Structure 1
Amino acid sequence: MIHTSAFHSRLRMAVEARGLSLERIRGRLAEQGVTVSVSTLSNWQRGVSRPGVDTRRVVAALESVLHVDDGALTRLLGDGPQAGRRRFLGPGTSMERLRALRAKLEVSERDLSVVAVADEAVVAERDRIRLMRSRLVVRADRPGADRHVVFVHANQRTLPVLRSTKGCEVGRTALDAEAGLIAAELRFGPLVRGETYPIEYQVERMESGAYYGRWIRAADVRYELTVWFESGSSVRSAYRVWRSDARSPHKDVCEVRLIGDEVAHMIDDDPNPGFHGIRWT
């Protein structure tokens, strides 16, 4: 199984199988002359960050400490889910701008975790998105958590309309016109710590290119995306795309079959952090 899944999941499984704490793993790496912090190891196994080129020696030493085959972990550190053809599809989302918008709404990102996302995009004439629907499952990380912030790419001339459809109400909003971003607060009843809760919303009047997807920032988030093509569209093909950060272009991962010439679908139970989506031509 170590050869067939994401790096952070396989690392976590190897750690659990070995039965060592991260502090003991850090100590055994130090005995080999390899220095790495417990927080870095924790981030790697949670998918918050990935080892860079300069830390591949640490990963190789980890394989020895965890008693896995040579290369079992390092070979999972390729550039994203799969190598593929790069395509530039516009700039990504700046984390600094997202944090600034969230700060305007005074909502802490530590209150909730998103554990599952299901997006639906409806494509009409000119192969542009007419409507986007989302269902999120959030988990309360503290007692009393009662709101979640979502971000939508906007157009300065025509702002999209965000509506709650089930389980929540739209509260305050904040706009970054220069970046073309809107932050919206979704409110619901206070949750008990550890409790999960579904919320649904939709976005209308979107100005977008011929693709849709979502940034996955943390580990253990199940992501599903369905793109529906109405009769007025002229779509001929669709591709799953991925990008590691806001500075990188999208990369084609694989072609997605158009089922009945009207729907493209993808699902990932354990996606790498980054942008995951579908583009069409």
Structure 2
Amino acid sequence: MNTSGTRRFERAPHVPGLQELKAVRPREGAADLRDVLRTGPFEAALDSAVRASGLSLERIQHRLAERGVEISVTTLSYWRRGRSRPERPQSRRAVRLLEELLGVPTDGLVSLLGPRRPRGRWVHRDDEVVETEHLWREFVSLPELLAELGSTDDGLLRVAAHDSYELDARGAGARLTTRLTLKATRDGVDRCVVILRGEDPDGALPEFADVRNARLGRLRSDPSVPLVVAELFLDRTLSGGGTTLIEYTLRFPDEGRRAEECGRGFHAPALLYTLEVAFHPDAVPVRCRRCSSAAVTGEPLSAEPVWISAAGRVHAVFENPGPGFRALRWEWH
């Protein structure tokens, strides 16, 4: 069980070249832009520059890529909202190009960044984010499922996550209990969006058996994968920086196929991920590994043996997990 209608999308319309972009006259907000370039902060200046240019983040990303700088739309959005700041050399180079693309005077944005901020265990790694669709890139129906819920970004940072997975006597998933520590990255956050994948495309989808500190909202699914996108409404609306804890339990259908892994995808850095797996005494695998990969279905970038106890239990602790997929994977007889 991995925690975290197919349609093809047409190519975007013609994007003007660099000279064309430079020729675009600022729209409404130009006066605000002049003021905020003098006073900051960086995110306010970037937001004003984007609005004044009339360009979408998708167009801006495309032009940056043409100049050799790969920055995701999600990262640009985070910079614009103040959720993260450009820190790495390539990110700083992107800001230089943004000044050119958006018609901002040289150093107009860069000067608002100041010195690089310290990093450490409790410091959020700013520009290390990936789009949710990229993390789940082999699931072509996911963008449409998320679009039906209105957004790919619920405004919540997964500070910590704890998954406890139980298997039955056949080696199939029985229950998964998840506890999430969440922090709002903006005002007005009232829901959490979770992505779930079952093990058996021919079987029924997992169901929510219990939800605490939240209530179940809309569900969208693609049974052929199987994939579920769920909306959990928080007990209260959070302001930026506010925190909450939620817990939910999933119950898996009887007669499911044997599970071979359990894990969670992170599209932005977290502080801690703890994963526990309890095997039934009649179905204990021969070996288990803790794995990290760039995407949910990607080949492991690292894999380390993990001890299975005499009681058939195994766990893994991932400190400061960056974007990607963290999991336990096991082999049966």
Question: Shorter-normalised TM-score: what interval?
Answer: 0.5 to 0.7
- State, as a whole percentage, how many aligned pairs show the same letter: 25
Q: Distance in 2 between matches of 1:182 and 1:39?
A: 40
Which of 1 and 2 has greater Rg?
A: 2
Instruction: Judge conservation of contact 2:205–2:223 (CA < 8 Å) in 1.
Output: no
Name the residue aligned to 1:123.
Answer: 167
Name the residue aligned to 2:213.
Answer: 167
* Structure 1 residue 266: Cα displacement: 0.7
136, 139, 143: which one aligns with 2:187? 143
Q: Distance in 1 between matches of 2:212 and 2:190?
A: 15
* Structure 1 residue 162: Cα displacement: 1.6
Superposition RMSD on alpha carbons, in Å?
3.2
Which whole-Å deviations, capped at 9, do the CAs of 1:188-217 have from their partners, x for residues lacking one?
Answer: 221122111000011111546311111121
Relative contact order, CA 8 A, sep 6+: which one is greater? 1
Judge which range, 246-255 or 179-188, deviates more.
246-255
Q: Distance in 2 between matches of 1:98 and 1:160?
A: 17
Amino acid of the structure 1 residue aligned with 2:180:
L
Q: Structure 1 residues 116, 229: CA separation in 2 closer, same or farther (over 3 Å shift)?
A: same
Residues 1:36 and 2:93 aligned together = yes
Q: Distance in 2 between matches of 1:126 and 1:271?
A: 31
What TM-score, normalized to structure 1? 0.65
* SS of corresponding position for 1:36: helix
Residue ranges of structure 2 left out of the alignment (5+ in a row): 1-84, 98-115, 118-123
Which whole-Å deviations, capped at 9, do the CAs of 1:37-61 have from their partners, x for residues lacking one?
Answer: 2499999854226xxxxxxxxxxxx
227, 242, 246: which one aligns with 2:292? 242
Name the residue aligned to 1:190.
Answer: 237
Q: Structure 1 residues 260, 252: CA separation in 2 closer, same or farther (over 3 Å shift)?
A: farther
Q: Distance in 2 between matches of 1:153 and 1:39?
A: 40
Residue ranges of structure 1 left out of the alignment (5+ in a row): 1-20, 30-34, 50-90
Q: Structure 1 residues 93, 167: CA separation in 2 closer, same or farther (over 3 Å shift)?
A: farther
* Structure 1 residue 168: Cα displacement: 1.0
Q: Distance in 2 between matches of 1:39 and 1:223?
A: 35
Which whole-Å deviations, capped at 9, do the CAs of 1:75-114 have from their partners, x for residues lacking one?
Answer: xxxxxxxxxxxxxxxx965476433212111245152221
Residues 1:211 and 2:261 aligned together = yes
What TM-score, normalized to structure 2? 0.56
Instruction: Judge conservation of contact 1:163–1:170 (CA < 8 Å) in 2.
Output: no
Q: Structure 1 residues 164, 46: CA separation in 2 closer, same or farther (over 3 Å shift)?
A: farther
Instruction: Judge conservation of contact 2:265–2:296 (CA < 8 Å) in 1.
Output: no
